[in-house]
Amino acid sequence: MPWLAPLVAMLVVFTIYPLIYNVWLSFHEYAPLKRSLVYVGAENWITLFGDERFWSALSVTLSYFIVLLVVQLVLGMLIALLLDSDIAGFGVLRGLLSLTLVIPPAITGMMFLLIEDPEFGVLTFVLDILGVLDSTTPILATSSTALLGIMLADIWQWTPFMVLIFIAGLRSLPQEPNEAAMLDGASALQILRRITLPMMSKVIAVAVLIRGIDLLRAFDYMFVMTSGGPGTSTYTLSLYAWQQTFSFIKWGYGATISLVGLVIVLLLANLFIYFTRVRW
């Protein structure tokens, strides 16, 4: 099928070649003195399983993924329900929300770095006034709050993405079931649970899939905001692989970490597709 050829050709270059290269690389390591790659057998894989920092990065990645997926899903749905109305001005609100999508995550990271600065940041100031967090606890420099500080940037940027998807979904739903249910005296909450959400299931599934893939590969925000710190509390798999690859020139080990990351995404995504029966 010649129509598919360009696509397949490009995807092979983009995925099959890097994949094979990474697998090959994971059995090699760069030797600084020889200025070349040498075969090291399964050493990288063995190191990986005993590497505390790998496990810590894995757990950070997974908690980032789970927490943000749930928060963005719930928050996104709530705001979508709130904004799904023809009241004058709501179109403007939806337009304003879509603004967050055009800002590069790297710049969003810098933006929140300034907002969350322990001395000069406006968020710190507000939290201090509210008594939530006083200025002696710098958000991004405290192990227990640093990941939350980064999550905030992600939530800010991507919740509107969910909102827009869900509004599109809500708007395309037929109204008849709702009306019938109302005549039967169902409450708004019942309608939401029994009718709206089930009809939205495919939209929700796709949103979860797309967002989930990106959350598991999270990199930009921690790269600019904390570089993984304090300690190792915001190192994700992507960032750890990046550090090994580019800062320490451990290409083999970096590739090994990346491969594990890839396997996790593939596994979770395919399980999800299988169980939710998403069909394209």
Binding residue for another protein, selected from 43, 45, 142, 195, defined by CB under 8 A:
142
The backbone region for 218, taken as left when phi is positive above 0, alpha when psi lies in -120 to 50, beta otherwise, is beta
Calculate ∠ Cα 240-111-94, nearest 5°: 110
Contacts of residues 54-59 at CB distance under 8 Å and 24 or more positions apart, as own/partner, are 54/237, 54/240, 54/257, 54/260, 56/232, 56/235, 57/232, 57/235, 57/236, 57/237, 57/239, 57/240, 57/257, 58/237, 58/260
Given a contact cutoff of 8 angstroms between Cβ atoms, the answer to whether 276 and 206 are in contact is no
Q: Per rule CB under 8 A, is residue 35 in the interface with another protein?
A: yes
Q: How far is the CB of 38 from another protein (least distance, A)?
A: 13
Binding residue for another protein, selected from 42, 46, 66, 107, defined by CB under 8 A:
107
Q: Per rule CB under 8 A, is residue 127 in the interface with another protein?
A: no
The CA distances from residue 205 to 74, 153, 175, 238, 272, in Å, are 13, 23, 21, 24, 9
Binding residue for another protein, selected from 38, 98, 190, 271, defined by CB under 8 A:
98
Contact region with another protein (CB under 8 A), list: 42-50, 63-71, 255-263: 255-263
Q: Per rule CB under 8 A, is residue 27 in the interface with another protein?
A: no
For 140, the token pair is: 């991004």
Number of residues counted as binding another protein (CB under 8 A): 124
Closer Cβ to another protein, 60 or 265, answer by number: 265
Closer Cβ to another protein, 17 or 55, answer by number: 17
Q: Per rule CB under 8 A, is residue 46 in the interface with another protein?
A: no
Contact region with another protein (CB under 8 A), list: 43-51, 66-74, 116-124: 116-124
Binding positions for another protein, 188-247, rule CB under 8 A: 188, 191, 202-203, 205-207, 209-210, 213, 216-217, 219-220, 223-224, 226-233, 237-238, 241-243, 245-247
Q: Per rule CB under 8 A, is residue 272 in the interface with another protein?
A: no
Binding positions for another protein, 51-80, rule CB under 8 A: 79
DSSP 69: H
For 81, the token pair is: 């329900």
